[in-house]
Amino acid sequence: MKKGRRAHWLFAGLVLAALLADAASAGAETLLRARLNADIRSTDPGTNRDANTDGVIAHVVEGLVAFRDDTSVGPMLADSWTVSDDGRTYTFKLRQGVKFHNGAVMSASDVVWSLERWLDPATQWRCLSEFGPSGIARIEKIVAVDPQTVTVTLDQPTALFLPTLARPDCGQTAILHRESVGADGKWIAPIGTGPFKLGEWKRGQYVDVIKFDAYSSRSEPRTGLTGAKTAAVDRVRFNVIPDSAAAKAGLLSGALDVIMSLSIPDMDDLKTRPDVQVSATPSLSMTGLLFQTRDPLLQDARIRRAIALALDMPQIVDVVMEGTAKANNSALPIGSPFHGSVQEQGYQQDLTEAKTLLKAAGYRGQPIKLITNKRYSFVFDAAVLVQEMARAAGINIELEVLDWAAQLDRYNRGDYQAMTFIYSARLDPSLSFEMLTGPKATQPRKVWDNAEAQAMLRQSMLTSDPAKRQALFDEMHRRFIADVPMIVLFNGSELTALRKAVKGYAGWLFPQARFWGVSLQP
């Protein structure tokens, strides 16, 4: 046996032994054990975050509103709301009797404090820019009318105020108790209202969330991130297991109950096992090839288009996703109600035209550094195929494999030539374009710096007329394909493997596990 393979299985064995020890020590406690492929970045929702962070902290915190399964926005900590005739003032009626994890009862003053904290630049909230001078609308005033009523006044009406509050990557604009921060304003830990409270975070090993016995659940059925959130287990332990073989061994041994973000090869194997169930749900996530359009070489759109024309998109998706996804070059995911015939127009492989464009651009085989990662196997596999297909057109692509945290940092700084990257799902079409579109000078993570597109995006956020929004999205798609700031490859599927004893689990369009309503049966 080769040394690398021996080390691989030794590592898997050590992880499995640790998992079995955890299971043996659980005693009478009902413990659901799930796998994370990497550690969370922080416990402060909507700030230093990634998809894993969002998924764990969503069990701990809640906002005024939340997305439903069908991508509409429903009530969460707000029981209801009304909008003024001019569309600028939202009046939220809060649920009564909701408690924070420290036992304090939530009131309007907590909502005001939380919203003002999010709007403080020192918090570094991911979604602050949405409510800044160039955002969807500026929040002018937040008022506690009485203990159960809060008003929020905007400087202009927008169709995206509630969807933005609900965004998982915004931390659901969580309502927190002020003891979540110290006297100096520095973050301590989330004291939220969710069905679980934060337990121990042992960095690099696991994160625990513990059933909150005083949780006040909504009465309607579970849907999206709202509805009933009954904690049916005492504790959920998110085990950090980067190695997929170790995670798979843990599931088969009974030391793990759930593996999220399952790889395609592991899915093929596990779905044949009698003691395992596999959940496959189409998602709104996006995998694509990003270009730094300020790069001296890739600022030439002809080179970017040549790369697009060198790729056989359906073959990439078939090889990488094995029938669980379809090729899609549009920023609007296939599951979006605004994805139509215009969005089906994309790139077709044409090596002759690709070579013609390269010659016209004066490309002489200069290397293009393509960053990727192995945390998401399909992202890495896509990069390998892009490299090989581009070579046939005479394009010299060199791969640079980084760990996910390093790649995310490079992405946020715009510090790359090209990278294969995965975006988490966006539940509104404007937000699908928003995560890509913006001025690089102030938002270096944005890939499409096009002033006209930014103006159309803003219009799509202001109007609620479906026909007008569709026309804007259609035109943005055409320009996106012409500019080639990135190549959208496909939308993903959330693949999850569970022990047969796990009951009540359900995936949805947003690829994020929800462990409320999930139980363990003999």
Answer yes or no: is pLDDT of 61 > 70: yes
One domain, residues 175 and 299: no
Answer yes or no: is pLDDT of 20 > 60: no
pLDDT, one tens digit per residue, over 155-164 is: 999 989 999 9
One domain, residues 300 and 381: yes
At 76, the amino acid letter reads M
Answer yes or no: is pLDDT of 262 > 80: yes
Q: Mark which of 126, 156, 180 sits at the end of a domain.
A: 180
Q: Mark which of 180, 212, 236 sits at the end of a domain.
A: 180
One domain, residues 115 and 216: no
- Only one residue has tokens 């479906």, namely 466
Answer yes or no: is pLDDT of 138 > 70: yes
pLDDT of residue 354: 98
One domain, residues 273 and 407: no
Percent of the chain with pLDDT over 70: 95
Answer yes or no: is pLDDT of 144 > 80: yes
Percent of the chain with pLDDT over 90: 79
Q: Please, what is the angle between helix 313-321 and helix 377-392, to 10°?
A: 150
One domain, residues 128 and 194: no
pLDDT of residue 412: 96
Task: Give the Cα separation of 384 and 197 in Å (integer).
Answer: 41
One domain, residues 471 and 327: yes
Answer yes or no: is pLDDT of 401 > 60: yes
Q: Mark which of 149, 180, 211 sits at the end of a domain.
A: 180
Answer yes or no: is pLDDT of 334 > 80: yes
Mean confidence (pLDDT) of the chain: 92
CATH code for position 161 = 3.90.76.10
One domain, residues 479 and 429: yes
One domain, residues 367 and 454: yes
One domain, residues 114 and 197: no
* Phi, psi of 58, deg, nearest 5: -65, -20
Instruction: Provide the CA 159 distance to its chain's centre, in angstroms.
Output: 21
pLDDT of residue 3: 52
Q: What is the mean pLDDT of residues 351-371?
A: 98
- Our count of domains for the chain comes to 3
CATH code for position 306 = 3.10.105.10
One domain, residues 195 and 288: no
Q: Classify residue 80 by burial, with Cβ atoms within 10 Å: 0-12, 13-18, 19+.
A: exposed
pLDDT of residue 426: 84
pTM of the model: 0.75
Task: Give the Cα separation of 162 and 430 in Å (integer).
Answer: 13
CATH code for position 233 = 3.40.190.10
Task: Give the Cα separation of 400 and 166 in Å (integer).
Answer: 35
**Domain span holding position 56:** 5-60+187-279+495-520
One domain, residues 169 and 247: no
Q: What is the mean pLDDT of residues 81-96?
A: 96
One domain, residues 325 and 264: no
